[in-house]
Amino acid sequence: MFKIVEVSDVIRIPPSMFGGDLKKVVKSLLKENYEDSVYEDLGYVIKVLDFDFNPVGKLVPSDGGSYHEVKFRLLVFTPELHELVEGEVVEVESFGCFVRVGPIDALLHVSQITDDYMSFNEVEGTLIGKESHKVIRKSDIVRARIVAVSIGKGGVGDKVGITTRQPFLGKLEWIEEEVKKSRRS
């Protein structure tokens, strides 16, 4: 889910940046420290939207920098358990596919695509259902539910898992077929 969050922090301005426009310096430091970062409590930080800061900083003995209180708003993406999302399949592998959801690639494991056995066609880069003949490939749009979230705990282990093994989830064409079937019955 995309959100706008308000954050308070203290930012250090190094002596090398003392001569510049203070507002531009604070903005560049906020962007450098927050944008394109992942935090367990915030999620994926997309952009610093706006900020307000105290131009009167504090000095610390044996540190040449000045410290300023800053309040700012961030645009973040925070995947939440059980949230419904739509995304584009960006990669298909034998173990499943990766679906672009906001700024991240979530894993749709092969066991979470359908109730059918899915086999991998390496030449075509597709996963195909044995009995249903449903095909999923790069560039398909899918609707899924988030079932696992592990972010902001060191960067290497950032993971989001999704499933389409529930009614009215999956490739958009599959959902349209389900809706048509449900209207006929």
Buried b (16+ CB within 10 A) or exposed e, 106-129: bbbbbebbbeeebebeeeeebbbb
What domains, with CATH codes, occur in the chain?
2-77 (3.30.1490.120), 84-180 (2.40.50.140)
Decide: 67 and 60 in contact? Cβ < 8 Å. Answer: yes
pLDDT in tens for each of the 185 residues of the chain?
Answer: 899 999 999 999 999 999 889 999 999 999 999 999 998 888 899 999 999 999 999 998 989 899 999 999 999 999 999 999 999 999 999 999 999 999 999 999 999 999 999 999 999 999 999 999 999 999 999 999 999 998 876 656 689 999 999 999 999 999 999 898 888 87
Q: For residue 148, what are the contacts with CB-CB under 8 A and spacing of at least 6?
A: 81, 159, 160, 161
> What is the model's pLDDT at position 154?
60
> What is the model's pLDDT at position 157?
63
Task: Report the C-alpha gap between 157 and 159 in whole angstroms.
Answer: 6
User: What is the value of pTM for the model shown?
Assistant: 0.82
> What is the model's pLDDT at position 14?
94
> What is the model's pLDDT at position 181?
86
3-state secondary structure of 133: coil
**Distance set, CA 49 to CA 60, 75, 95, 109, 141 (Å):** 29, 7, 38, 35, 29
